[in-house]
C-alpha cells in the first residue's frame, strides 16, 4: 500500500514525495523496520490509518485515500473499494471551504470543514454517521442535523461520534449501548446528533479522548475541558527568552524613575500584543470588506462614503447585492461573520488577564459589535427576502390561471389550498427584528383577507347553483384556523425540544430555562392572536365580536396554564432526580 511513487488515479505518474515514515502494528501486520511512504504529491497535514487503507489530509484541504475497505471508508464510491494509488475523495456539490480535520472511528470517518460543517461516510450500523438511518455511505454526506451550528471540533471513537459547536455544546450520536454516549437515555442506537444536556450549564472548550485500559485494554475515556490554561508564555516555551529585551531595566541613579525588569517586560509584551491583534483585525476587516454583505447602506445621497458606496466587479451597491443575491450566499456571509465573532471572542478570552490590554480589548469589542450588526442586517435581509418570495409565490398549476366564469368550485378550492400553504410558511418563518416581525404580521393579514375573499366567492358559487349561501362561514373559517393554531401549540413539546434537542441553547439553571420557556410560549401565543389587534382588517362584521374576545381570553388563559405546566414539569424533574439519587445511595 505504500510504494515508491504513483499517480493520483488519473493515469499520469506523479513525482515522488517524502510523505511519512511508517512502522508498528498495522491491522494484522507488524512493521518492525520503518519505511518511507511516497504516495501523495505535496505536503500532508494529517493522516488516518484503517485496517487496510490510508486517508491523507493535504495542505490545501483536500482528502485523498488508497487501499481497501469494503464498508465505504475510502469515500470513493461503491465501485472503488480497492485502489492502489491515492485518489481525491469527492464531496457533494454544496461543499464549501476546505477540510481542516479528519477523524476515524472503528469503521467510519468524520471530516470537519473550515466553514464548521461535518461530513461522514463508512459503516453506519450503529447510526454513527448521524444521518437519521443505519445505511452505509460510500461517499461523504453532510450531517444535516448539525448544519445550523458552527462545529469547531469532531471526535470519532469506535462506533460513536462527537461534535463540539462554537457555543460550547457537545453533540453525540452512534452506539449508545449501556448509555455509553452519556445522553441520559438508554436508546441503543442514536442515528442523529443529540446535545449532551448534562453539561448545558458550562461551555466546553475542547474534547479529548484518552486510553484508559478498560475491559480488555481497549477502553477510552472522553474528556471535555471547560476551563483551559492560558498558552505558555514566551519565556517558558521551548527556545524562549528568560529575560526582558532591551537591557537590565535598572539604573545606578536611584533618584530617577526607572523601569524594572517586570515593567519593561509588560511594556514590550503589550506593544507586541497590540501589533498582533492589529494585524489580525486588519486581515479580518479586509476579508469582511470583500464579503460585502451586511455592510451599511448609503442613506444620504449627498454624502460620499467610500465603504458603503464601493461597488464590486458587477458594479452593484450593497443594497442591490442584498436584494438580488442568492439566499445561500447571504447565509454563507452570516457564517463568515460568526467565525470572525468567535475568533475575536477567543482573543479577548486569551488576553483577559494580561496587563496593558485596555486598548486592545476596546478595539476587539468594537470589531465584534460591527460583525454582530452586519450579521443582524443579513438575517433581516434573508427574512425579508423570504417573506417577499412567499408573497409572490404561487403554485404553477394551469388550473389556477382560469378567469371569469371558469372560476368554479374546484378552482376556488385549489386557490384556497395554495393561499393556506403560503400563510403557514409565512407564520412559521423565524424573524429577528421588529421590521421583519411587522412585515410578517402584515403579510399574514393580507393572506387571511385573501382566504376570506375566496370563501365569499365559494358562497357566491353556491348561490348560483341554488344553494343558500352563508356569509359568516368565511370569517368563521379564519377564526377556527387561529383557534386550531392555539390548540396545536403545546408547551410540553417546547419543553421537550429545549430539554432533548438543545436548540443550541445553554442554561445556567432551571430558573433560567423556566424563564426562557415562559417567554417563548407567550411570544408564540401572541404571534397567533396578534393579528386580531388590527380589528379593522382582521375582524369580519358577520361574526359577533364576542367570538374574537373569547379567543383572546382563551389565549391569555393558555399563557397562565403554560406557566403553571412548566413549573410542574420542573418540580417533577427535580423530584425524580432526588428519588434517583436516593435509590442509588
Question: CA 205 to CA 201: how far, in whole Å?
Answer: 13
Q: What pLDDT is recorded for position 150?
A: 92
Query: Is the pLDDT confidence value at 306 over 70?
Result: no
Overall CATH class of domain 20-225:
mainly beta
Query: Is the pLDDT confidence value at 582 over 60?
Result: no
pLDDT digits (tens, 9 = 90+) for 11-48: 444 565 788 888 888 877 888 888 888 889 889 999 99
Q: What pLDDT is recorded for position 51?
A: 87
Q: What pLDDT is recorded for position 2?
A: 43
pLDDT digits (tens, 9 = 90+) for 121-158: 999 999 999 999 999 999 999 999 998 889 999 999 99
Q: What pLDDT is recorded for position 258?
A: 54
Q: Is the pLDDT higher at 278 or at 259?
A: 278
Which is nearest to 220 in space by CA: 182, 168, 265? 182
Q: What pLDDT is recorded for position 98?
A: 93
pLDDT category at 351 given cuts 50, 70, 90 is confident
Q: What pLDDT is recorded for position 72?
A: 93
Query: Is the pLDDT confidence value at 446 over 70?
Result: yes
Question: CA 558 to CA 191: how far, in whole Å?
Answer: 35
Rounded to an integer, the average pLDDT of 475-489 is 73
Residue reference for cell 434517583? 580
Strand ranges in 89-226 using DSSP code E only, listed in sequence order = 99-104, 108-113, 118-122, 137-142, 151-157, 160-165, 170-175, 189-195, 206-213, 219-225
Q: What is the DSSP letter of 296?
A: P
Burial 479-503 (b: 16+ CB within 10 A, else e): beebbebeeebebeebbeebbeebb
Q: What pLDDT is recorded for position 309?
A: 46
Query: Is the pLDDT confidence value at 268 over 70?
Result: no
Q: What pLDDT is recorded for position 585?
A: 37
Q: What pLDDT is recorded for position 498?
A: 58
How many Cα neighbours within 13 Å face the side chain of 317? 12
Q: Which helix (H) or strand (E) holds 36?
A: strand 29-37
Q: What pLDDT is recorded for position 501?
A: 46
Question: What average pLDDT does the structure give for the chain?
Answer: 77
pLDDT digits (tens, 9 = 90+) for 159-197: 999 999 998 999 999 999 988 999 988 899 999 999 998
The alpha carbon torsion through 508, 509, 514, 515 (nearest 10 deg) reads -50
pLDDT digits (tens, 9 = 90+) for 199-242: 887 889 999 998 876 554 456 889 999 988 877 776 676 655 55
Question: CA 452 to CA 112: how far, in whole Å?
Answer: 50
pLDDT category at 536 given cuts 50, 70, 90 is low
Question: CA 529 to CA 554: how far, in whole Å?
Answer: 10
pLDDT category at 573 given cuts 50, 70, 90 is low
Query: Is the pLDDT confidence value at 443 over 90?
Result: no
Query: Is the pLDDT confidence value at 301 over 60?
Result: no
Q: What pLDDT is recorded for position 234?
A: 67
DSSP 309-321: S---TT---HHHH
Query: Is the pLDDT confidence value at 410 over 60?
Result: yes
Q: Is the pLDDT higher at 362 or at 571?
A: 362
Rounded to an integer, the average pLDDT of 375-381 is 85
Q: What pLDDT is recorded for position 356?
A: 67
Amino acid at each position: 500500500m505504500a510504494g515508491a511513487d504513483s499517480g493520483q488515479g488519473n493515469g499520469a505518474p506523479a513525482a515522488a514525495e517524502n510523505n511519512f515514515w511508517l512502522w508498528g502494528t498495522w491491522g494484522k501486520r507488524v512493521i518492525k523496520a520503518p519505511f518511507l511512504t511516497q504516495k501523495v504529491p505535496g505536503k500532508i497535514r494529517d493522516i488516518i490509518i484503517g485496517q487496510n487503507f490510508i486517508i491523507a489530509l493535504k495542505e490545501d484541504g483536500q482528502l485523498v485515500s488508497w487501499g481497501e475497505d469494503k464498508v465505504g471508508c475510502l469515500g470513493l464510491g461503491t465501485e472503488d473499494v480497492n485502489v492502489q494509488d491515492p485518489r481525491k475523495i469527492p464531496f457533494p456539490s454544496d461543499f464549501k471551504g476546505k477540510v481542516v480535520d479528519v477523524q476515524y472511528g472503528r469503521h467510519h470517518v468524520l471530516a470537519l470543514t473550515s466553514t464548521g460543517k461535518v461530513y461522514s461516510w463508512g459503516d453506519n450500523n450503529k447510526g454513527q454517521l448521524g444521518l437519521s438511518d443505519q445505511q452505509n455511505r460510500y461517499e461523504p454526506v453532510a450531517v444535516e442535523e448539525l448544519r445550523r451550528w458552527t462545529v469547531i471540533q469532531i471526535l470519532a471513537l469506535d462506533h460513536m461520534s462527537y461534535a463540539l459547536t462554537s457555543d460550547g455544546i457537545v453533540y453525540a450520536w452512534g452506539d449508545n449501548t449501556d448509555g455509553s454516549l452519556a445522553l441520559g437515555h438508554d436508546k441503543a442506537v442514536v442515528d442523529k446528533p443529540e446535545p449532551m444536556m448534562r453539561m448545558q450549564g458550562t461551555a466546553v472548550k475542547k474534547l479529548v479522548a484518552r486510553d484508559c485500559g478498560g475491559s480488555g485494554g481497549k477502553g477510552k475515556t472522553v474528556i471535555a475541558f471547560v476551563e483551559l490554561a492560558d498558552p505558555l508564555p514566551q519565556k517558558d516555551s521551548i527556545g524562549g527568552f528568560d529575560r526582558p529585551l532591551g537591557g537590565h531595566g535598572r539604573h545606578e541613579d536611584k533618584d530617577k524613575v526607572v523601569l524594572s525588569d517586570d515593567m519593561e517586560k509588560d511594556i514590550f509584551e503589550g506593544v507586541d500584543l497590540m501589533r498582533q491583534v492589529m494585524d489580525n483585525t486588519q486581515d479580518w476587516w479586509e476579508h469582511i470588506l470583500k464579503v460585502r454583505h451586511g455592510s451599511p447602506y448609503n442613506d444620504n445621497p449627498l454624502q460620499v462614503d467610500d465603504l458603503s458606496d464601493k461597488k464590486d466587479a458587477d458594479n452593484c451597491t450593497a443594497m442591490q447585492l442584498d436584494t438580488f443575491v442568492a439566499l445561500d450566499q447571504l447565509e454563507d456571509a452570516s457564517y463568515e461573520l460568526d467565525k470572525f465573532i468567535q475568533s475575536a471572542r477567543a482573543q479577548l478570552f486569551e488576553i483577559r488577564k494580561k496587563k496593558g490590554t485596555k486598548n486592545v480589548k476596546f478595539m476587539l469589542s468594537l470589531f465584534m459589535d460591527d460583525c454582530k450588526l452586519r450579521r443582524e442586517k443579513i438575517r433581516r435581509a434573508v427574512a425579508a427576502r423570504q417573506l417577499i418570495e412567499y408573497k409572490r409565490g404561487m403554485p404553477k398549476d394551469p388550473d389556477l390561471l382560469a378567469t371569469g366564469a371558469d372560476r368554479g368550485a374546484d378552482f376556488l378550492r385549489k386557490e384556497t389550498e395554495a393561499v393556506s400553504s403560503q400563510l403557514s410558511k409565512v407564520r412559521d418563518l423565524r424573524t429577528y427584528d421588529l421590521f421583519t416581525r411587522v412585515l410578517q404580521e402584515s403579510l399574514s393579514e393580507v393572506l387571511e383577507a385573501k382566504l376570506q375573499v375566496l370563501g365569499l366567492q365559494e358562497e357566491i358559487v353556491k348561490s348560483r347553483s341554488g344553494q343558500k349561501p352563508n356569509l359568516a362561514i368565511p370569517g368563521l373559517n379564519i377564526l377556527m384556523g387561529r383557534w386550531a393554531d392555539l390548540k396545536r401549540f403545546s408547551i410540553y413539546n417546547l419543553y421537550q425540544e429545549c430539554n432533548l434537542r438543545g436548540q443550541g441553547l445553554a442554561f445556567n439553571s432551571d430558573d433560567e430555562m423556566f424563564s426562557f420557556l415562559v417567554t417563548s410560549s407567550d411570544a408564540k401565543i401572541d404571534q397567533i392572536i396578534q393579528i386580531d389587534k388590527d380589528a379593522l382588517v382582521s375582524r369580519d362584521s358577520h361574526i359577533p365580536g364576542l367570538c374574537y374576545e373569547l379567543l383572546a381570553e382563551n389565549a391569555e388563559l393558555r399563557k397562565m396554564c403554560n406557566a403553571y405546566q412548566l413549573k410542574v414539569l420542573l418540580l417533577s424533574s427535580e423530584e425524580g432526580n432526588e428519588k434517583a439519587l436516593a435509590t442509588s445511595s
